[in-house]
Amino acid sequence: MENVEKNYPSGISIERPAPGFRDSHDPDDLWDDSRVYINIGPTHPAMHGALRMAAKLNGETIEGSYCEFGYTHRAKEKLGENRTYHNFIVYTDRLNYCSALMNNVGYALAVEKLMGIDVPERCVWLRMICCELARVTDHLICVGINAVDLGAFSFFLYGFHQREEAYTLIEKLCGARLTTSYSRIGGMMQDAPDGFEKELKAWVNRTRKVIDEMDELLTTNKIWRNRTVGVSTFDKNMCLQYSFTGPNARAAGLDIDLRRDQPYLFYKNVEFDVPVARNGDVYDRYLVRIAEIRQSLNILAQCADKMKKGPIWSEDKRVRIPDKDVVYNTMEGMIYHFKFFMEGFAVPAGEAYTAIEATNGEMGFYIVSKGTPNSHRMRIRGPSVWHYQGLTPMVKGEKIADLVAALGSINIIAGELDR
């Protein structure tokens, strides 16, 4: 951001000029280039999470801005080096807290890759359900909050109702709603309850109807289109420059999706489309997210059909958490349980980068192991970091109301951004 104070001739008292007062480019004009500098955030209703943006305004137009983050920095990556691999699972919940289930899966996949563990089929299906359920809830929040910022409150609550129902489903899986910690390295915390598939499919059918309703309410609304079409455009080239991934990149026409390009889990075995838009404006991001919710619902229905009964734990002795009856009834089990939770398990030396297609884009875990129960280095690629860098060029020359729309549409999650 430019220096606010200029070198005025000494002895002249300088008062803050009125916004947009004059723009004469006259060196003798004290009030030339008079602009108002405004702090948006960190406690601003539109700055979801704690983000700060300092903007230079000419009237209502943003002439320059400066993004700042780090208000929710909790040293997640450093914690990953101090905690055992098992302990770190709970910290992954707090990355993108709108899709905690998916972060758990991504982390488990990363450690399993280092250890060379294969998990049973049912576990993989469960993980896919986790991922897609998380994607639906996250996208519902994103489009909903974007609409709230533009004044359409009811739209948000329709989606939020379905999200609450999804959280009830998640609660049935793991007992928690927001911070799930459901995946374990080499398995899942517990199996899905009986009849879960049926309930999931019922929810999918209900949500499809709600999505149709939401679509009808907003997609063709004239005011909504005025507010979003052509606003905060970030084209393909800029997306490449700023390493955009996920729905934000797909909205600009970058046809990338790790689920299809680098299939992990069982994404090869299900049918889904990757929605791609062209213009990369707020409207296209909204459309892509709505389309992705529909695709994810399809995937969920397919997973519910294909999932069969079976074990959910890998039989690898290193990572298998002993069952409670073994722990309470046998001496060996007790000792093993104690050692597992007090010391953790050693991961073979090596390094691995595992990326999954998270709700906002590529979420990667880069783990360097030296053969100890703690990782030597833990790095996380949160897609929001890259998207947040793009906000400044995105909103340059636009109105302050567009900033709010842009920020909502790229879905910055402070937990993932600051880590």
Binding site for another protein (CB under 8 A): 36, 38, 44-46, 60, 147-154, 157-158, 161, 217-218, 221, 223-224, 226-227, 399-404
CB closer to another protein out of 126 and 403:
403
CB closer to another protein out of 55 and 119:
55
Min CB(414)–another protein separation in Å: 17
CB closer to another protein out of 270 and 404:
404
How buried is 217 (Cβ within 10 angstroms: 0-12 exposed, 13-18 middle, 19+ buried)?
middle
CB closer to another protein out of 334 and 401:
401
CB closer to another protein out of 205 and 226:
226
Min CB(39)–another protein separation in Å: 9
Q: Please list the alpha-helical segments (H only) found in 150-275.
A: 153-174, 196-218, 222-228, 236-241, 246-251, 258-261
Residue 11, phi-psi category: left (phi > 0), alpha (psi -120 to 50), beta (remainder)? left
By DSSP bridging, strand 36-40 and strand 350-358 are unpaired
> What is the rounded CA–CA span in Å between residue 13 and residue 36?
18
Min CB(330)–another protein separation in Å: 52
CB closer to another protein out of 57 and 378:
57
Contact 143, 158 (CB under 8 A): no
Structure tokens at 275: 């929605």
Min CB(11)–another protein separation in Å: 27
What type of residue is 297? L
Min CB(401)–another protein separation in Å: 5
Strand order in the sheet with 52-58: 36-40, 52-58, 61-68
CB closer to another protein out of 45 and 193:
45
Q: Please list the alpha-helical segments (H only) found in 344-389.
A: 383-389
Min CB(108)–another protein separation in Å: 36
CB closer to another protein out of 157 and 349:
157
Bridge partners (DSSP) listed for residue 39: 54
CB closer to another protein out of 46 and 173:
46
Angle at Cα 384 formed by Cα 365 and Cα 184, nearest 5°? 35
Q: String of b and e for 180-194 (b: at least 16 CB within 10 Å)?
A: bbbbbbbbbbebbee
CB closer to another protein out of 38 and 274:
38
Contact 385, 417 (CB under 8 A): yes
Which residue in this structure is represented by tokens 């934000």? 248
Structure tokens at 164: 């609450």
Contact 282, 409 (CB under 8 A): yes
> What is the rounded CA–CA span in Å between residue 353 and residue 362?
12
Min CB(372)–another protein separation in Å: 48
Min CB(370)–another protein separation in Å: 48
Min CB(218)–another protein separation in Å: 7
Min CB(227)–another protein separation in Å: 6
CA distances from 105 to 18, 21, 269, 355, 408 (A): 53, 54, 18, 11, 26
